Amino acid sequence: MNYVSVSGYGWSGSSAYVSLLKEFGGFFSIDKEFRLIKDPFGLLDLESSLVDNWEFIRHDVAIRDYLWFCQILSRNSSLFSAYGSSYNNLLSIDFVKESNDYIDRLTNFSYIGDSVVHRYRLNPMQYFYRRISSKVGLYNNTGTMKVSRPTEKMFVHETRKYLNNIFKNYKIQYNAKCIVLDQAIPVSNIMKSSRYFSSIKTIVVDRDPRDIYVSLVKRRKLLGFELHNKDSVDKYIDWHKILRENAKDNLTNKDVLYVNFEDLVLDYSSTISKVKKFIGEKESNHIYPGKYFDNNKAANNVGLWKNYHNQSVMDKIYEALKDDCIKCEY
């Protein structure tokens, strides 16, 4: 199964390239960020505990956290419900069952046991009840614990199988030859995350840092909440740099393409050619041009910084991040 991940740095324009890829025949997207790998409690954290930093209690906690995370991703979200990502509906699978089967394949054996770490997250009333109940024989602190110590090779093999199983029904339903995933591969850890797929290409999307600043302020997302209340430009500049510290580590990797959001607006033809070459598609397979990516709409998000109320902030960003702004002068 073939995959393309479109990844970015937060409000850097990755969704524009997801929309573009959907215009190619056989390319389909679940239209939701796929955060199973990079989020806390996700696959990278699971591998860290089961393979890289194994300890005889740590891995059991990591498994519990991962399956808890999968419960969240599986459920639907509505106005009056807890947060969810609707993986069951989007992927036409029982996501929790697939995740439990995956963990079972990684597990050496289970046993009935107990550890103090399982009480770390109890609130005072829960902990008090457990202690009293245990003393009078009404509650037993023991439960099922797992022992899992796979090799890196086994972990990667089973994770590839797991991810293919997750998308199997989706692929059949849409007759997809390539599945486009938004944010599946973290920009800061491309090589390690890419091992989880048998075949994946990653498009990394960046954007003029001044426009990212304006978008963050407008949406009040990530650092934007603080930026909205006070122009913390120095903090923003540091934030921008930290996120991109190893951004160019994969410049020579044939399976990684670096682009800018503005490229699609300012140089559409050559950018399309670059993307087509990267994903190995001919012009004839770009069968829905303009259906999902609206160039005119995207143009409204280019050069936002010019109308920002405090141009001294924009000037300071330019001076500090000039290399990232030069190609975006319009």
> Across residues 29-43, what is the average pLDDT?
96
pLDDT, position 115: 82
pLDDT, position 310: 93
pLDDT, position 248: 74
pLDDT, position 327: 58
Give residue 124's pLDDT band: very low, low, confident or very high (50, 70, 90): confident
Of 278 and 121, more confident: 278
Name all domains of the chain by residue range, CATH numbers in brackets.
1-26+178-330 (3.40.50.300), 117-147 (no CATH)
Tokens 């963990």 sit on residue: 103
Residue 141 has pLDDT above 70, yes or no: no
**How far apart (Å, rounded) are the C-alpha atoms in residues 16 and 300?**
13
Residue 117 has pLDDT above 90, yes or no: no
Residue 209 has pLDDT above 80, yes or no: yes
Give residue 133's pLDDT band: very low, low, confident or very high (50, 70, 90): confident
- Residue 178's DSSP bridge partners are 2, 27
CB 112 within 8 A of CB 145: yes
pLDDT, position 326: 66
Rounded to the nearest integer, the mean pLDDT of the chain is 93
Residue 273 has pLDDT above 90, yes or no: yes
Residue 2 has pLDDT above 80, yes or no: yes
Q: What percent of the chain has pLDDT over 90?
A: 79
> Across residues 103-117, what is the average pLDDT?
91
- Please report, for residues 8, 249, 263, the alpha-carbon distance to residue 253 in angstroms, rounded to integers and kept in the order given: 17, 9, 21
CB 291 within 8 A of CB 23: yes
Q: Which residues, at least 6 apart from 291, have a Cβ–Cβ distance to it below 8 Å?
A: 22, 23
Phi and psi, residue 30, nearest 5°: -80, 0
